[in-house]
Structures are given as C-alpha cells and as structure tokens.
C-alpha cells in the first residue's frame, strides 16, 4: 500500500462509494444547505469538507467517508469535488481490495435492514446507495444532541442498529417526530451506554 495525502479533484460521477446505504434525510439537509450558499460560500464549503478517498483497482477513487455530502453535491448538479487520497491500493486485486477496506473499517457492506451482505452489494455509483431510515434517524438524533460525534468508524450505523432493534420501521417512515422523541429517550438509557458518543441519562 502506498501512503499519500494528495489533494485531488474528482468527478462526482466517477466517485465510488464504500457503503451500501445512506440516510436520505441527511442528504436532503445537505442539499438544502448547498442551495443556500452563494458561489463564494460554496467554494469555502468545498475546501472545508474534503472527501477522504482511496485509490482502488484501475486507480478508481473510492470515498471512505462523507457519502451524504458527496451524494448531495451530485444531486445538486455539482460536477467535481476536492478529495484527499489517503491510500493508494490500486495494486490490489478487487477481492483483496475489499478485504483490506473491511479490515480497516473503511467499508460498510450492510443493507438497509442492517444485515451484512457480500461486498458486491456496495454500488458502483453514489446514486445507487439505498435509504436506511434508521440511519436517517440516527443522524437526526446526533444533530439534536442525542449523542456526541465520535471518531468510531460508522458510528451512526451502530446507533441505527440500536434503534432498529427497538423501534418499528413504519413509525420512522410515517411519524418521524414521534420516532425521534422515542429515540432520544432510548439514547439516554443505560441500554445505550456501550455506543460511541453516549451522553448518559
């Protein structure tokens, strides 16, 4: 593996995800924020939110974080984004590449029900990521102070799985406010103390 920290401008259409799902609510919120910025604000926003990537087979760029931001930009019609290349894994064959990412917690091959799948569930395009409503709920829970941001990889998905086992999916879909209120209570409970960013009761 070649280590690097090179800044690189990448076409969003070429940027590949390393997770299968997103929280649609977070994407929509980021789209709204982007629309509210003028050109100067957008340039500043892009410079402040570099997307970390690795180079995979055929030197294709794979995002290892900031999927919601990247998808929001793509859906808003942005053509390119600034990235940091944190590792050059282009010498690896595809199976070895995905195993390497998995061992570093740089990929998340789980479906919208929180079930582990084969690596090929991860789409080749940002637009192929499925909506996991519990990931959206976990993201909103953090934004509203339910737990603290943590450096644990995929922390929001850990919270999503915790909530998934305790709340009904149809409640999250049909009455998000009620689901969020219940999620806040759950987040303060001792049952959640093992999760990253837990703030206590």
- Between CA 48 and CA 69 the distance in angstroms is 12
C-alpha 12/C-alpha 31 separation (Å) is: 15
Cα distances (angstroms) measured from residue 36 to each of 30, 33, 91:
10, 5, 41
22-79 pLDDT tens trace: 999 999 999 999 999 999 999 999 999 999 999 999 999 999 999 999 999 999 999 9
Query: What does residue 71 show for φ and ψ, rounded to 5 degrees?
Result: -65, -40
Q: What is the pTM of this model?
A: 0.93
Is 133-190 in CATH node 1.10.8.10?
yes
Q: Is the pLDDT of residue 7 over 90?
A: no
So where are the chain's domains?
2-131, 133-190
Joined together, the tokens standing for residue 143 give: 């934004």
List strand residue ranges (DSSP E) for the chain, in order: 2-11, 21-22, 51-55, 61-63, 80-88, 130-131
- How far, in Å, CA of 124 to CA of 57, rounded? 13
At 180-193, the pLDDT tens digits run 999 999 999 999 99
CATH C-level class of 2-131: alpha beta
- The DSSP call for residue 90 is T
């Amino acid at each position: 593996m070649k280590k690097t920290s090179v800044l690189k401008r990448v076409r969003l259409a070429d940027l590949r995800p390393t997770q299968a799902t997103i929280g649609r609510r977070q994407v929509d919120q980021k789209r709204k924020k982007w629309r509210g910025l003028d050109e100067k604000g957008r340039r500043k926003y892009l410079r402040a939110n570099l997307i970390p990537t690795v180079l995979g087979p055929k030197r294709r760029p794979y995002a290892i974080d900031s999927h919601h931001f990247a998808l929001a930009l793509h859906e808003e019609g942005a053509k390119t984004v600034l990235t940091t290349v944190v590792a050059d894994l282009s010498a690896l064959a595809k199976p070895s590449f995905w195993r390497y990412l998995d061992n570093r917690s740089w990929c998340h091959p789980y479906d919208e029900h929180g079930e582990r799948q084969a690596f090929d569930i991860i789409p080749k395009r940002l637009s192929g990521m499925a909506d996991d409503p519990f990931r959206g709920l976990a993201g909103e829970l953090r934004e509203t102070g339910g737990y603290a941001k943590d450096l644990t990889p995929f922390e929001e998905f850990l919270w999503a799985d915790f909530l998934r086992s305790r709340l009904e999916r149809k409640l999250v879909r049909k009455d998000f406010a009620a689901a969020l209120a219940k999620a806040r209570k759950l987040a303060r409970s001792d049952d959640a103390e093992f999760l990253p960013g837990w703030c206590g009761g």
